Structure 1
Amino acid sequence: MRRTSAALLTAAALALAALLAPSRADAFERQWHAGASIGYAMLADSGTYPGIGGSLHLSYGLTDAFNALVELNTASHPGGDFMFLGASAGAAYVIDILQWVPYVGLMTGAYDGVRLAPCGAYGEPDCHNPQFGVSVPFGIDYAFSRDFAAGFAGKYTLLLPGEGEGPGSYLTAFVRAEFLWGY
């Protein structure tokens, strides 16, 4: 009887130790990410029309916690005959020791609001409105493997006044997929 209870106690202690043992966590430096996104885009101005947008992104792991980012994005706002183009670069803080990988960053870049309706003539708005902007990208990815991840990405961009009248800010909410290599 005593042996049985000692064996059960030992088995229970080993099972508990196995359950509570920390799992392996990997954080990668020098890892590349390349991917694409698609989703919702919103200009924050008076006559705002929601649109659909997309982006291409490339990031590189500077350390296990910080990534350098570059991004090209576009969005079409058909209700306002308007298209928005952008290119930005910056850095993000990444918690990549989990299978779910949250991140937040800071980027700066150049943007262009392109009017698709009649424009450029006397009394009509300019066809292009170049602006600089500062943005905060944020999101969460799920690493399916060391080679592929998918997730949700958002980006809030504060646009600095350009030559013409343009929106003051821009918000995107995308689903994305990316390939990973170089760990």
Structure 2
Amino acid sequence: MSINFHGGDCQESPRTDSEFGICDEGNARKAYSDVNYPEKWMAKVENPSNLETTFTAIDYCIELKRPDGSMDNRCDGMLTYSDNIIFIELKDQQARWISHAVDQLETTIQYYIAHHDINKFKHKRAYAANRAHPKFQRSTLELSQKFFSKYRIRLIVQANIKIC
């Protein structure tokens, strides 16, 4: 069965705002983009060129099922624009959040690759964003290098997403 990451009720209308946020209120609800309530933003998206950018909710929206029928881990969403794709996992916790975020990103990327041609995107990134740690200080260079070697996708651990 094919999984469509690019359509339906999970995909928002494109936006061209120079700045917006990605929100996840929990409670088994899908993530969404927002321009009106910065206090709800878990990740800030900077789009200085006002490029047409589309947010697609993945967690609580696109079903990714294991062979036994149970729901698999998923990241919160993705942004797509021109020849770019950005997978996003949002966290709001203090301890051990990076490995959990990376696991969710990896699982989603594996499903995406199995059902879509990711190589149609020239630039591929994955963000692990944490509102509790928007500018994470610990080095994640080794983790980022392993992630890139495995998926050819840049892993970035921070809550500011740059559209360029």
> If each structure's helix is expressed as a fraction of its own residues, which one has the higher value?
2
TM-score by length of 2: 0.30
